[in-house]
Structure 1
Amino acid sequence: MRKTVAVAATVALFGALTACGGGEAESGGPVTLRMTTWSANPDHVKLFDAIAAEYKTTHPDVTVKFDALPFENYTTTVTTQIAGGNAPDIAWILEGAAPDFVASGALTPLDDSIEDAADLAPTATALWKQDGKLMGYPFSTSPFGVFVNTDLLKKAGQTLPTGDQWTWDNASKVAAATAAKTGKQGLVVRDFDYKDWTNLATVFRGWGAEAWTADGKTCGFDQPPMVDAMTFLHKAIFTDKALPAPGVAADFFAGESAMTIAQISRASLLKEDGFGWTLVPLPAGPSGSYAVIGQGGIGVLKKGKNAAAAQEFVKFFTSPANSAKLAQFFPPPRQSQLNADTLAKANPLLKPEQLQDVVIDGIENGVVKPSHAGSAEINQAVRSGLDPLWKPGADVTGVLKGVCTAINPLLAK
């Protein structure tokens, strides 16, 4: 019930974002900027604080504070703050919420706030533009890859498939065999946890499946590619035991699973004295090789109290120099920085070939996770619709037809 209320509130809030006036006028005196993020990772925070401290040396009257909010309710919290008159000056925006933020009029155009904007990859900025204007800066354009615990595979007598053999069928077999032999878990779709279904796009797009058509108007869950992909997932979970069952938690970075699907920013969780590991692209599916990208954008809120000062800080935060620093965790949208040499300097844990295969090739060939206007309501409907799927003996086709029945009216809005 709380989740339903939160979704309803978010839907209502997006409709009201432009109904009220902007933030209070800036005083011209000392300014404190508040920037909401969804990461409290100490390494991330340390980097953000360092960038803010450097900015303060040339802007002594400006203090930047980073407000880390829980990921699961991030968008709802930010939109509640906006509607309640407590809008942040700058906000990270999830790719799923980008269509709502961009279309709502809540954001200030950033065309004049980005240095060397021509360097931004068109594929990276597509989701963040409206009427030709850049409404959000995609500071993180990060393909998903598979981290593999090579020590655990060796202990189980398993070998990581390579080349043409790196397929979903073979990945599932290795994950299941390793889990059975070691008592650990097999493959974890990180941050899915049977809640955030959009992370399953890292799997189902291997079958050429889409949540909805390109125009966003028609559900794709009941189509054969999605039925086949979800049938594979169901079997991998409940028959083969290749993936953790509902209610089972396993942290790859604590050595609790053989593999996990995640982005390169997660590499910071690996310990120098931990286990042997490698990073590889997503396995090929029946439709061939593919890549899936998660994006995070930065937006300046119109209803923030310091929009002009916020734009100036965003210009500094997103400069080529700071973009290179952020590349340690967040692959940049700048084409000049999307090469193995540049990324390797910021990511010493990753080998140049890993950065090329997973990140650079992934950005060039990948597609962004599902996003749609009204995402909060749609995502909740999909999640509820998929709930009956996560049990043994589920009617996969019937469940997916039910998802479409639930979301087609929402897609048509």
Structure 2
Amino acid sequence: MVDRNRKKKGWTALIAAAVTLSTVLSACSGGKEPASASNAPSDGDPITISFETSVYAEEPHKKAIDALIAKYNETHPNVTIKVHGTDYENYWDKLTTEILAGTQGDIVQVYPENIATYNALQSGGTFVNLDEKIQASGLEDKLVGQELSKVDGSYYALSNYAWGSTGIFYSKSMFEAAGIDPASIQTMDDFKEAAIQLGGVKDGQYGFSSVIGTHPFIASEWYRLLARPVSGGIYFPDGEAGPYEADRINVNSAPNVWAAEWWQDLIKNPQATPPGTRDKKVSREMFWNGQAGMMMDGPWFIGMTKERDEALMDDLGLMPQPSVVYEGQTYKPNPHNYPIVSMISKDSKHPDEAWEFLEWMTSREAQQIIAGSGMIPSSKEYAESEEYKTENPLAAQFFDFQENVYAPAVMDPPIPELGSLSQILINAAQEMFVGMKDAKTALDSAAEQMKDTMH
């Protein structure tokens, strides 16, 4: 599975230039209107719908999507659905180029924070406003993450595929050997104590396989576990809410500085975390190899573990992200919710047929197929069902965390400048957690750079 961090260097500058170009063009054009349903072929006529996604390169998703299309074709044999895209790393550059050329897919899968950026690339908007269709479908409150699919108060995507959040996976055998009860880990301070205790059992063993290096996770693990719960936002306050203006940059707020200093104290402990430069792949390998007792990941890690070695499943435990105690107050964790959402291009010749397929994907038979992707199906009803819980007991815990343990998820701000802001944050994290630079100095500098970006 891909790492769920959507901050990519390569497409930041390209998107910024594209948005500028789109703004210039909008002065000369009234924008494109949604394709008319009257132009669509009648029932039974052969049509082709292109489906663009970043996850098809991953085998579990490929199997799930191929099975979805095969099942849909049993009742819609006239509809050919062609899947295209590329590996996750290159998907976003490719999508930007296609949108500017008007060659994007009829259906485009993204994450909620990508909607505003890519919708802005065409004058008048790239994608179809789905308000009427979603409200008429009765799905508005039945899909996990649907509320995140709005731009300026309107829906531009349907959360019809799957989602994931994050938690703490742990080795049952290592916890037992260290004499640690996982239920005793309620706060991040408990987590730190457990990490140090796990690492003290024997040489070459560590408590938590964090990512310390050039990978974007060097920033995201810190702010998802610590900073955002206490500050309300790493970029903007109040849950990353607008207005998104320079004077509301929040990265160097007192809670975020405190969280960075706390994280520095954790990762410099030689028992708590392993030394050296690593990425997420290496941290997972350390966990599987018994070198680390805990790691942070999402439900896709369950399938990855089973594929790596099914025998490892007996030793795989899962707990929610701990709460954070700051200045005497306890803050619930508020990790990202990662729904993969689907949009319909305004350039599509078959928008109604594309919608019909997307709506069918929310059905029980489709959600059963989607469960094979390794993520959690978007239908709340199906994810809560005894059938799903019985077949996917570990993954079902994430749904319980989301509903009963975690505070509402705090998502990245849905603005075109997000790519630039996230790269500034990654650079600051590398200074703090690799170079051990003073946290306040690094975050003050990051704040100034972010303000310049917003200006």
TM-score (norm 2): 0.77
How far apart are the structure 2 equivalents of 1:32 and 1:304? 8
Q: Quick one: structure 1 residues 247 and 276, their matched pair in 2 at CA, closer, same or farther if it must change by over 3 Å? A: same
Moved more, 220-229 or 99-108: 99-108
- For residue 87 of structure 1, what is the amino acid of its counterpart? Q
**C-alpha distance in 2 between matches for 1:80 and 1:22:** 20
Structure 1 segment 376-395 matched on structure 2, within 5 A:
376-395=419-438
The 3-state SS of whatever aligns with 1:31 is strand
Correspondence for 1:254 among 279, 288, 308: 288
1:281 pairs with one of 285, 308, 320: 320
Aligned residue in 2 for 1:186: 207
The corresponding residue for 2:3 is: none
Distance in 2 (CA, whole Å) between partners of 1:236 and 1:78 is 39
User: Quick one: which amino acid aligns to residue 233 of structure 1?
Assistant: W
SS of 1:290's equivalent in the other structure is coil
- CA 278–222 in structure 1, closer or farther in 2 if over 3 Å, else same: same
Cross-structure match for 1:133: 154
Residue in 2 that maps onto 1:315: 359
Q: Shift of the alpha carbon at 1:333?
A: 4.7
Q: Which amino acid aligns with 2:366?
A: N
SS of structure 1 residue aligned to 2:376: coil
Partner secondary structure for residue 292 of structure 1? coil
| Aligned equivalent of 2:384, options 339, 342, 349 | 339
For the Cα contact (< 8 Å) 2:383–2:389, is it kept in 1? no
Q: Work out which of the residue numbers 280, 283, 297 in structure 1 matches 2:341.
A: 297
Deviation, 1:347, is 1.6
| Alignment pair present for 1:202 and 2:224 | yes
Please name the residue that 1:171 is paired with: 191
User: How large is the RMSD of aligned CA atoms in angstroms?
Assistant: 3.3
Q: 1:1-34 CA deviation, whole Å, 9 max, x = no partner?
A: xx76631112223455685757997676441423
- The alpha-carbon distance between structure 1 residues 403 and 80, as it changes in their structure 2 partners (threshold 3 A), is same
In structure 2, do the counterparts of structure 1 residues 166 and 33 end up closer, same or farther at CA, with 3 Å as the change threshold? same
Tell me the alpha carbon deviations over residues 261-292 of structure 1, each in whole angstroms, 9 at most, x when there is no partner: 12223211122312501111001111333231
Task: Give the structure 2 partner of residue 110 of structure 1.
Answer: 130
SS in 2 for 1:368: coil
**Helix, strand or coil at the partner of 2:63:** helix
Secondary structure of the structure 1 residue equivalent to 2:264: helix
Contact 1:194 1:246 in 2 (8 A): no
The equivalent of 1:142 in structure 2 is: 164
**Change in CA separation of 1:166 and 1:192 when aligned onto 2, cut-off 3 Å:** farther
The DSSP-based 3-state class of the residue aligned with 1:91 is strand
2:209 and 2:126 mapped to 1: Cα distance?
A: 36
Q: CA deviation at 1:187?
A: 2.1
Go from structure 1 to structure 2 and tell me whether the alpha carbon gap of 1:91 and 1:257 turns closer, same or farther (over 3 Å shift): farther
1:99 aligns with 2:116: yes
Could you tell me which amino acid in structure 1 is paired with residue 104 of structure 2? Answer: A
CA contact (8 A) 2:233 2:250 kept: yes
Instruction: Report SS of the residue matched to 1:148.
Output: strand
Please give the per-residue CA displacement for 1:336-371, whole angstroms capped at 9, x wherever unaligned: 345363541452455x6x3564243257x3313322
Q: Does 1:51 align with 2:72?
A: no
Per-residue CA distance 1:374-409 (angstroms, 9 max, x = gap):
212222222233332133441111001111001023
Q: Structure 2: which amino acid aligns with 1:303?
A: D
Cα distance change, pair 118–200 in 1 and its aligned pair in 2 (3 A): same
Q: Which residue of 1 aligns with 2:5?
A: none
Distance of aligned partners of 1:284 and 1:11 in 2 relative to their CA distance in 1, 3 Å threshold: same
Unpaired runs of 5+ in structure 2? 1-7, 26-30
Q: For 1:206-245, list aligned pairs within 5 A.
A: 206-211=229-234, 212-213=236-237, 214-215=241-242, 216-217=244-245, 218-245=248-275
Task: Name the counterpart of 2:300.
Answer: 265
**Cα 1:31–1:66 shift into 2, 3 Å:** closer
Aligned to 1:372: 414
Q: Distance in 2 between matches of 1:244 and 1:108?
A: 48
> How far has the Cα of 1:260 moved from its partner?
1.7
Distance between the aligned counterparts of 1:310 and 1:209, measured in 2?
37
TM-score (norm. length: structure 1)? 0.84
**What is the deviation of 1:229?**
0.8
- Range with greater deviation from structure 2 (44-53 or 312-321): 312-321
Range moving further from structure 2, 18-27 or 56-65: 18-27
Distance 1:376 1:118, change over 3 A: closer
Query: Is the 8 Å Cα contact of residues 213 and 430 (structure 2) preserved in structure 1?
Result: no
TM-superposed deviation, 1:52: 0.6
Contact 2:195–2:293 at 8 Å: present in 1 too? yes
Distance verdict in 2 for CA 1:96–1:73, change over 3 Å: farther
Give SS of 1:379's match.
helix
Structure 1 position 188, deviation (Å):
3.6
In 2, Cα distance between the equivalents of 1:314 and 1:113? 11
Query: Partner residue of 2:16?
Result: 11
Alpha-carbon distance, 1:136 to partner? 0.8
